[in-house]
Amino acid sequence: MAEVEKTSVEIFEVGPRDGLQNESRPIALADKIALVDCLSRGGFRRIEVASFVSPRWVPQMADSGAVLAGITRVPGVRYAALTPNLRGYQDAHAAQAGEVAVFGSASEGFSRANLNCSVADSLLRFAPVLAQAQADGVPVRGYVSCVSDCPFDGPTDPGAVVRVVAALRDMGCYEVSLGDTLGQGTPERIAAMLRAVLGEVAPDFIAGHFHDTAGRALDNIAVSLEQGVRVFDAAVGGLGGCPYAPGAAGNVATEAVQARLTDLGYATGLDSGVIAQAAAMARAMRGARDAV
């Protein structure tokens, strides 16, 4: 059993939310549901499918409640939703999200652009979400953006990442995903950041979230594995990006992460055929955008 755990890595699929949220062309509800249903057959334990933010800011996610109502839920799969505040949490809970996520930043510039508040104030906003989720028995995941570079502030101090991670832990998050939002982090800098963070929390509390803007996401995953990280976010077809991070390309593709992990001898428990099918669906959605 110990050997299985040592060589197992979980891919947290974020394509239906983090992947699709930046698509400017409206994507049909039926297509979103079909993508989630396909992914549900792939062996994932967690799939991020919804975001209960203001539709004025992220119109692509305005039908998140309908997505959660329309998908075919598979036993053993937890369907996650992003929730920026208590109202978002209440909507996600009503839609029966299996877990929710709060999202902050390690950099002040990105926090003000993305959340319209300081890092400290963003953490204060999360407190009622964590308190209500704990009362309801709903797991909460934390996201930290710009752990390597910020489009407004430049390189991020690893100490700033540590402080946000520690705050999210103390509030009750069960896991924190560290995001290289610009996709400019090098393996050396990612390793240094992780060493700082892992001086505060255990590796099993951390997930990696790497964008592939500079083509280094897989190398950053490899160096994270060396530090003991065993959960990585990815999006089928490489969908994604961030509207508040100019120049940031998509998330690292799930199919590429699956292939690299397999080459390195790690088991994911995923069905590569299903992932390929879902990736084709995702690329078709992006292709429709590119054709406009």
Task: List the catalytic residues.
Answer: 242
CB 82 within 8 A of CB 48: yes
| Beta-strand runs (E) in 206-282 | 206-210, 231-234
Q: How many helices (H) and strands (E) does the chain have?
A: 11, 10
* Rounded-to-integer distance, Cα 167 and Cα 199, Å: 14
Query: 80 near 47, Cβ under 8 Å?
Result: yes
| Token pair recorded at residue 192 | 């240094």
Give the CA angle between residues 18, 92, 9 to the nearest 5°: 45
Nearest to 175 by CA among 46, 20, 64, 89: 46
Strands, E assignment, 58-181: 78-82, 99-105, 140-145, 149-150, 154-155, 175-180
| Cα(282)–Cα(260) distance, integer angstroms | 20
The SS3 of residue 10 is: strand
